[in-house]
Amino acid sequence: MKKQSVGLGLLGLGVVGGQVARVLTEKAETLSEQVGCPLVLRKIKCLPQDLNRPLTKELPAGIFTTDNEEFFKAPDIDIIVELIGGENPAYDYQKRAITTNRHVVTANKEVIAKHGTELLKLAQQHDVGLCYEGSVGGGIPLIAPFKHDLVANDITGVYAIINGTTNYILTRMAKEGIGFATALQNAQQLGYAEANPRNDIEGIDATYKLAILATLAFQTEVKPEDIYCEGISRIGSRDFRYAREFGFAIKLLAIARQSDNAIEVRVHPVLLPEETFLAKVDGVYNAVEVEGDLVGKVLFFGEGAGARPTSSAVIADIVYSAQKIARGISGKTRLRLDSGRSIKPMSAVETEYYLRITAADRPGVLAQIARTFGDHLISISSAIQRETENGGQSAEIVIMTHPAKEAAMQQALAELARLPVVKEVSNFIRVENV
Ligand SMILES: NC(=O)c1ccc[n+]([C@@H]2O[C@H](COP(=O)([O-])OP(=O)(O)OC[C@H]3O[C@@H](n4cnc5c(N)ncnc54)[C@H](OP(=O)(O)O)[C@@H]3O)[C@@H](O)[C@H]2O)c1
Q: Give me the DSSP letters along 392-417.
A: TSEEEEEEEE-SEEHHHHHHHHHHHH
Question: Looking at 59-63, 67-71, 353-357, which range is the least confident one?
Answer: 59-63
- Which pLDDT belongs to residue 247? 97
Preceding amide of 345 cis, omega within 30:
no
405 given a catalytic annotation: no
Residues 135 and 170 in one domain: no
285 part of a folded domain: yes
Task: Check pocket membership of 36 for ligand 1, CB cut-off 6 A.
Answer: no
> Which residues, including other chains, have CB under 8 Å from residue 324's CB and lie 6 or more apart?
103, 129, 330, 331
Residues 238 and 268 in one domain: yes
CATH number for position 170: 3.30.360.10
267 part of a folded domain: yes
Task: Check pocket membership of 50 for ligand 1, CB cut-off 6 A.
Answer: yes
Q: Does residue 354 contact residue 243 with C-beta atoms inside 8 Å?
A: yes
- Which pLDDT belongs to residue 287? 98
- Which pLDDT belongs to residue 340? 79
Q: Is the pLDDT of residue 129 over 90?
A: yes
CATH number for position 37: 3.40.50.720
Question: Looking at 169-183, 255-269, 280-294, 336-350, which range is the least confident one?
Answer: 336-350
* Cα 197 to chain centroid, rounded: 15
Interaxial angle between packed helices 406-418 and 365-375, expressed in degrees from 0 to 180 and rounded to the nearest 10: 140
- Which pLDDT belongs to residue 365? 92
Residues 314 and 410 in one domain: no
Domain interval for residue 366: 348-431
Question: How far is it, in rounded angstroms, from Cα 392 to Cα 389?
Answer: 7
Q: Does residue 408 contact residue 427 with C-beta atoms inside 8 Å?
A: no
50 part of a folded domain: yes
Task: Check pocket membership of 138 for ligand 1, CB cut-off 6 A.
Answer: yes
Model confidence pLDDT, tens digit, residues 370-415: 999 999 999 999 999 987 776 678 999 999 999 999 999 999 999 9
Residues 11 and 116 in one domain: yes
Q: Is the pLDDT of residue 201 over 90?
A: yes
Question: Looking at 13-27, 255-269, 275-289, 334-348, which range is the least confident one?
Answer: 334-348
Atom of ligand 1 nearest to the CA of 306: 3
228 part of a folded domain: yes
Give the residue whose CA is nearest to atom 27 of ligand 1. Answer: 84
Does this model's pTM top 0.75?
yes
Task: Check pocket membership of 357 for ligand 1, CB cut-off 6 A.
Answer: no
Report the domain count for the chain: 3
Q: Does residue 103 contact residue 127 with C-beta atoms inside 8 Å?
A: no
Q: 3-state DSSP call for residue 270?
A: strand
Q: Is the pLDDT of residue 65 over 90?
A: yes
- Which pLDDT belongs to residue 390? 67
Question: How far is it, in rounded angstroms, from Cα 143 to Cα 313?
Answer: 10
Q: Which of 327, 361, 394 is the last residue of a domain?
A: 327
